[in-house]
Amino acid sequence: MTWAEAKEYVNKLNSDRFAGYSVWRLPTIEELASLLKSKKANDNLHIDPIFSGKQKFCWSADTFAPDIAWYVSFKAGMIRHIYHFFYHVRAVRTIK
């Protein structure tokens, strides 16, 4: 989905109270970057095998400029920004 669709998706998770919670959000770029591994492991990706290999690129909540968001490429092991593309969402919530 696009970054705009990713934000709508998270809003729907909250309105539907997914898993009993209404505090879902897109992760920060720092949170996504913390999942990066220096060596490829899971399905030849830079992420721990505990995570799905289907999400090779994930949107963050952080923007570079209006309508340009940061994302993490678990395929290449890097952080970049882009205007309009179709990536995945790994929604998170803060645990208190």
Q: Which pLDDT belongs to residue 95?
A: 82
Q: What is the pLDDT of residue 6?
A: 94
Tens of pLDDT, residue by residue, the chain (96 residues): 999 999 999 999 999 999 999 999 999 999 999 999 988 887 889 999 888 888 999 999 999 988 899 999 999 999 999 887 889 999 999 887
Residues 6+ apart with CB under 8 A from 24: 10, 13, 14, 18, 91, 92, 93
Say what the pLDDT of residue 74 is.
94
Q: CB neighbours (10 Å) of residue 32?
A: 24
* Cα–Cα distances in angstroms (integers) from residue 60 to residues 3, 19, 20, 41, in the given order: 8, 21, 23, 22
Environment class of 17 (CB within 10 Å of its CB; exposed 0-12, middle 13-18, buried 19+): exposed
